Amino acid sequence: MSINKIMCCCGSGLGSSLIVRMNTEDELKKLGISGVEVVHSSLSDCMPGAADLFIVGGDLGDFVADVPDDQKIVLDNILDKDELEAKLRNKFGIA
pTM: predicted TM-score of the whole model, two decimal places: 0.93
Q: What is the pLDDT of residue 65?
A: 86
The residue among 94, 76, 89 whose CA lies nearest residue 20 is: 76
Q: What is the pLDDT of residue 81?
A: 97
Using one digit for the tens of pLDDT, what is the confidence trace for 26-73? 999 999 999 999 999 999 999 889 999 999 999 888 888 889 999 999
Average pLDDT over residues 15-29: 96
Q: What is the pLDDT of residue 39?
A: 97
Q: What is the pLDDT of residue 9?
A: 95
Contacts of 21 (CB under 8 A, 6+ apart): 8, 38, 39, 40
- Among the residue ranges 10-14, 41-45, 63-67, 78-82, the one predicted with the least confidence is 10-14
CATH architecture of 5-92: 3-Layer(aba) Sandwich (3.40)
3 state SS of 72: strand
